[in-house]
C-alpha cells in the first residue's frame, strides 16, 4: 500500500529514473502478499528475496544477505524503504554500509515503547537515513529532538492515504459485503495480530471476552491474521471463538476487499498502525487495543481512541458507537493523496 503510489509517482519521471521494486518475502503468506500486488496494480517485483518466516534475528539476517546481492548487481543511486518492519531496517543497514544513501518513508513516528520491535526498527532506520519523509507533525518534533538536520526532513503527507484515495472507488465494486451478508454501516471490523494481544492465552481470552460481551450488537467481522489463527489453535480457543453468535471469522482479505469492509464499517477494533490512519481519513471510529501509538495525530484530531487491554473500556466505547455516539474527527494536514508525488519530486532533485 505504501510502495504502489511511490511506484506510480516515479513512472511519471520515467525518462530520468528507473524505479525497481524488491520484495523481500518477509510477508510470505500468499493471501497477504501476492494478492496485494494484484489489487494494487503493481508489476511483478524486479527482485524477490523469498526470506520467509523466522525469528527477528533470522529474518533480518536473511534479508541483509540477499539484499546485499541485489545492491551489488544494481548499484542504485538511492534505496527507498517504507514503514517499520524488519525489511525496513535490514535494507537500510546494508545500503548505508555499501555507501548507498537511504530515504525513509514514514519517518519520525514514535510510540515511546521500545518493547515493540517496530519502534527499534524506526529508531535505527531514521538514524542512518539521508532523506526522511514525514507523514504527520509529531514526526517533525521527534526527529528534531533526535538531532536530525532540518534539511534532511520533509513533511510530505501519508502514502497510505494516497492508496486509499486511488483505490477507494475500485474497492466499492468488491463483492465482500454481499458475500459476508453484512449491512453497510452496521458491523464491527477487527484486526488483531500483535504479540501483546495474541501470543498468550490471557491476551486471547481478553479479545474473546470483548466479542462475547458484544454478542447482541451488530456483526463482528474478523479477518484472522495467520499468527492469530495459529495462536487460537495452540491455546485451544477455536471452539470458543466459533461459538460467538455474531462473530464472522474469515481468511485475510485482499486490499480491495478489506478497503470495502473498512469504508463501510460502523466501528474498527485494531492493533494496527496503518488502520488508525485509514479510519481517521474515512471518519470511521477506531478503538486501538494498545497502550500507546506512534501515530498520535489519529487520537489528537482523528477518530482513534487508545483502549489498552481494558476489556471494559473497549466494550463501553463500542456500545457508545452502536448507540450513535461515535468520536468525531477530521483529516490531518497533507493527507490529500499527493504524498508520493511530493516524495518523487524531492527525490528527483537529488538524482
pLDDT tens-digit readout, 206-223: 999 999 999 988 999 999
Q: Is the pLDDT of residue 27 over 80?
A: no
Q: What is the pLDDT of residue 54?
A: 86
Q: Among residues of the chain, what percentage have pLDDT more than 70?
A: 98
Confidence of residue 30 (pLDDT cuts 50, 70, 90): low
Q: What is the pLDDT of residue 37?
A: 87
Confidence of residue 226 (pLDDT cuts 50, 70, 90): confident
Decide: helix, strand or coil at residue 269.
strand
Q: Where in the chain is the domain with CATH 3.40.50.2000?
A: 3-157+335-348, 169-322
For the CA atoms of 133, 139, 36, 304, the dihedral, rounded to the nearest 10 degrees, stands at: -150
Q: Is the pLDDT of residue 314 over 60?
A: yes
Tell me the mean pLDDT in the region 20-42.
79
Tell me the mean pLDDT in the region 337-346.
98
Least confident of 17-26, 100-109, 291-300: 17-26
Q: Is the pLDDT of residue 137 over 80?
A: yes
What is the value of pTM for the model shown? 0.95
Return the sign of the alpha-carbon dihedral for residues 269, 270, 271, 277: negative
DSSP 169-209: HHHTT-SHHHHHT--TTSEEEEE---HHHHSSHHHHHHHHH
Residue 147 has a CB neighbour count (10 Å cut-off) of 7
Long-range contacts of 342-346 (CB under 8 A, 24+ apart): 342/154, 342/156, 342/157, 343/6, 343/9, 343/103, 343/105, 343/133, 343/154, 343/156, 343/159, 344/6, 344/9, 344/10, 344/12, 344/13, 346/131, 346/133, 346/154, 346/156
Mean pLDDT of the chain: 95
CATH topology of domain 3-157+335-348: Rossmann fold (3.40.50)
**CB distance 60 to 89 below 8 Å:** yes
Long-range contacts of 234-240 (CB under 8 A, 24+ apart): 235/200, 235/201, 235/204, 237/201, 237/204, 237/205, 237/208, 240/208
- CATH superfamily of domain region 169-322: Glycogen Phosphorylase B; (3.40.50.2000)
How is residue 65 annotated by DSSP? H
Q: Is 193 among the residues known to form the active site?
A: yes
Tell me the mean pLDDT in the region 327-345.
98
Close Cβ partners of 36 (under 8 Å, ≥ 6 residues apart) = 1, 42, 254, 255
Close Cβ partners of 22 (under 8 Å, ≥ 6 residues apart) = 45, 46, 47, 48, 49, 67, 70, 91
Nearest to 85 by CA among 111, 59, 108: 59
Distance, CA of 102 to CA of 93 (rounded, Å): 9
Nearest to 271 by CA among 165, 196, 346: 196
Q: What is the pLDDT of residue 36?
A: 84
Q: Which of 19, 23, 104, 193 is catalytic?
A: 193
Amino acid at each position: 500500500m505504501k510502495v504502489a503510489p511511490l511506484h506510480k509517482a516515479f513512472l511519471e519521471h520515467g525518462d530520468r529514473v528507473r524505479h525497481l521494486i524488491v520484495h523481500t518475502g518477509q510477508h510470505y503468506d500468499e493471501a497477504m502478499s501476492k494478492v496485494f500486488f494484484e489489487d494494487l496494480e503493481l508489476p511483478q517485483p524486479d527482485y524477490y528475496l523469498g526470506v520467509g518466516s523466522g525469528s527477528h534475528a533470522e529474518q533480518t539476517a536473511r534479508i541483509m544477505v540477499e539484499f546485499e546481492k541485489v545492491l551489488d548487481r544494481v548499484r542504485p543511486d538511492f534505496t527507498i524503504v517504507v514503514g517499520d518492519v524488519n525489511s525496513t531496517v535490514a535494507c537500510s543497514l546494508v545500503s548505508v554500509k555499501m555507501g548507498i544513501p537511504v530515504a525513509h518513508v514514514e519517518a519520525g513516528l514514535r510510540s515511546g515503547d521500545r518493547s515493540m520491535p517496530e519502534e527499534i526498527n524506526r529508531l535505527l532506520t531514521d538514524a542512518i537515513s539521508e532523506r526522511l519523509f514525514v507523514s504527520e507533525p509529531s514526526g517533525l518534533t521527534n526527529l528534531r529532538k533526535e538531532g536530525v538536520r532540518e534539511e534532511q526532513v520533509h513533511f510530505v503527507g501519508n502514502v497510505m492515504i494516497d492508496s486509499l484515495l486511488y483505490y477507494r472507488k475500485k474497492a466499492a465494486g468488491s463483492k465482500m459485503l454481499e458475500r459476508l451478508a453484512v449491512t453497510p454501516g452496521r458491523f464491527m471490523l477487527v484486526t488483531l495480530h500483535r504479540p501483546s494481544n495474541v501470543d498468550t492465552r490471557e491476551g486471547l481470552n481478553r479479545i474473546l471476552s470483548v466479542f462475547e460481551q458484544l454478542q447482541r450488537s451488530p456483526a463482528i467481522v474478523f479477518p484472522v491474521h495467520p499468527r492469530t489463527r495459529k495462536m487460537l489453535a495452540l491455546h485451544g480457543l477455536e471452539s470458543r471463538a466459533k461459538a460467538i453468535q455474531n462473530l464472522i471469522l474469515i481468511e485475510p482479505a485482499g486490499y480491495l476487499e478489506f478497503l470495502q469492509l473498512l469504508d463501510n464499517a460502523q466501528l474498527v477494533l485494531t492493533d494496527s498502525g496503518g488502520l488508525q490512519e485509514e479510519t481517521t481519513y474515512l471518519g470511521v471510529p477506531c478503538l486501538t487495543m494498545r497502550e500507546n501509538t506512534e501515530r498520535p495525530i489519529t487520537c489528537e484530531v482523528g477518530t482513534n481512541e487508545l483502549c489498552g487491554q481494558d476489556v471494559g473500556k473497549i466494550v463501553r466505547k463500542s456500545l457508545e458507537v452502536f448507540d450513535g455516539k461515535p468520536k468525531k474527527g477530521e483529516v490531518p494536514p497533507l493527507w490529500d493523496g499527493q504524498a508520493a508525488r511530493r516524495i518523487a519530486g524531492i527525490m528527483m532533485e537529488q538524482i
